[in-house]
């Protein structure tokens, strides 16, 4: 078997890891360190996601997809289905399709579609109850909504080849009891996604969530923290008149209702002012200045200012690292990753333009206090611009999507300055709010 020893007296967790939002258990961290030592001997040329599954008696290791073009590395568990055998049906048919693609393209296309369906049916996934479903059944059972089913009738290529399905499948096949799991990136960062060498990441949602939802059945799994609800935090009113209000939104409060949580700045504001509408948004984990319109007319006026980019905004952040340049401008085209929401990726062909200017303010203990001036308002713009290798290459402290959640007890990003034209009086207004993580890097000269 592919099981590796893990000699430790670290206590086991009460429940198995919820793979889409987790803090790595110390047992998984220890297992990952063993895998990293093995990887350091292999002289790999590509970046790759690796995973560990701690089981009774040791741990298993896996990589996503192929590793250096191979899926038969001795140290790691095998794929759920091996389509790479040169004399197997998949590879033989691929060669036939390639020969036909020039002479009979329609025939080749039909053969390619049939081959893909055949391949999906070869992926037979177990769960902890020893039940089996193939990939098509797993996918369609998860995407039961007709609207979603119509948009994603079949799984994307590569579904089932990520770390977590490989690990669980091998454990179930060999009667091993899963205890905890974690995934980490090793090697150079990819061009589009934000991935940092050696850091832990959640399982991908688009490909893995349907599969793991099935495979985890029968295990006692940690609850999904995104469905556990959040405390009903109350914004602090910084300024108010008959037309509008400016509030300090706490980290951990939505700007508008989300899919799993109704309470937000918007619902709180409507309880105070019946026609209130937030004029813009901040990420849930970002704190700071947020403008609320008290009437539809005021909302329209403020929206126009935001659309025309006449509103001037500044954010303060603490970075996990020190940028190579102390000030400058970042321009990266961003695109939502439909199979891994809410993550954003850099896409130079289809992405929307996003621009941020920045200036470093102070450095201490390998952390940087930085001022960020966004000229556009794309989702997660500042977080991606800071973390991506073609941006600053230094994620914001506490960023669980693009950096390390465990680096701080919150996302260290705060909207501290806002300038706009009053929608009724026409007066130029400026609001400032001290950032709440001055204990990390004090800075007085604003």
Residues acting as catalytic residues: 283
Tokens found for residue 112: 């390619």
Report residue 36 CA to chain centroid gap: 22
| Total length of the chain | 446
Tokens found for residue 408: 């701080």
Q: How far is CA 133 from CA 141, 170, 211, 212, in A?
A: 10, 15, 10, 12
Q: Interior CA angle at 134 toward 128 and 137, to 5°?
A: 100
Sort 144 into a burial class: Cβ within 10 Å, 0-12 / 13-18 / 19+.
Answer: exposed
Radius of gyration of the chain (CA): 25
CA-to-CA distance for 155 and 139, rounded, in angstroms? 7
Closest by Cα among 278, 165, 192, 203 to 49: 203
Contact between 217 and 127 under an 8 Å Cβ cutoff? The reply is yes
Contact between 208 and 401 under an 8 Å Cβ cutoff? The reply is no
Pairing mode of beta strands 413-421, 287-293: parallel
3-state helix vs strand vs coil in the chain, percent to 5: 25, 25, 50
Tokens found for residue 332: 């990266």
CA-to-CA distance for 153 and 73, rounded, in angstroms? 33
């Amino acid at each position: 078997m592919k099981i590796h020893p893990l000699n430790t007296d670290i206590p086991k967790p009460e429940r198995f890891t919820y793979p889409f939002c987790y803090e790595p258990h110390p047992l998984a961290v220890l297992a990952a360190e063993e895998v990293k030592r093995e990887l350091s001997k292999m002289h790999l040329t590509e970046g790759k996601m690796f995973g560990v599954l701690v089981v009774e008696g040791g741990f298993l290791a896996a990589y996503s997809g192929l590793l250096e073009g191979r899926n038969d590395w001795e140290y790691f568990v095998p794929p759920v289905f091996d389509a790479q055998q040169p004399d197997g049906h998949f590879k033989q048919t691929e060669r036939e399709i390639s020969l036909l693609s020039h002479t009979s393209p329609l025939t080749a296309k039909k053969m390619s579609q049939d081959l893909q369906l055949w391949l999906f049916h070869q992926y037979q996934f177990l769960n902890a109850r020893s039940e089996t479903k193939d990939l098509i059944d797993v996918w369609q059972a998860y995407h039961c909504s007709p609207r979603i089913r119509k948009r994603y009738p079949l799984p994307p290529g590569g579904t089932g080849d990520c770390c977590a399905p490989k690990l669980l499948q091998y454990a179930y096949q060999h009667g091993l009891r899963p205890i905890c799991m974690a995934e980490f990136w090793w090697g150079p960062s990819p061009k589009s996604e934000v991935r940092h060498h050696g850091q832990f990441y959640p399982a991908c949602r688009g490909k893995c969530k349907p599969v793991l939802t099935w495979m985890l059945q029968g295990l006692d799994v940690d609850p999904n923290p995104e469905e556990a609800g959040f405390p009903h935090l109350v914004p602090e009113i910084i300024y108010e008149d008959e037309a509008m209000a400016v509030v300090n939104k706490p980290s951990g409060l939505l700007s508008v209702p989300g899919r799993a949580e109704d309470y937000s700045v918007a619902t709180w504001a409507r309880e105070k002012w019946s026609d209130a509408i937030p004029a813009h948004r901040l990420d849930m984990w970002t704190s700071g200045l947020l403008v609320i319109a008290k009437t539809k007319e005021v909302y329209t006026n403020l929206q126009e200012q935001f659309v025309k980019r006449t509103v001037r905004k500044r954010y303060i952040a603490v970075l996990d690292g020190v940028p190579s340049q102390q000030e400058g401008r970042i321009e990266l085209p961003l695109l939502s990753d439909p199979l891994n929401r809410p993550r954003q990726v850099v896409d130079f062909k289809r992405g929307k333009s996003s621009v941020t200017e920045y200036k470093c303010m102070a450095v201490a203990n390998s952390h940087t206090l930085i001022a960020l001036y966004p000229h556009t308002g794309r989702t997660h713009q500042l977080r991606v611009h800071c973390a991506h290798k073609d941006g600053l290459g230094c994620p914001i402290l506490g960023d669980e999507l693009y950096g390390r959640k465990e680096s701080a007890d919150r996302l260290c990003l705060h909207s501290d300055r806002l300038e706009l034209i009053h929608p009724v009086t026409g007066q130029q207004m400026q609001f400032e709010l001290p950032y709440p993580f001055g204990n990390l890097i004090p800075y007085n000269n604003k």
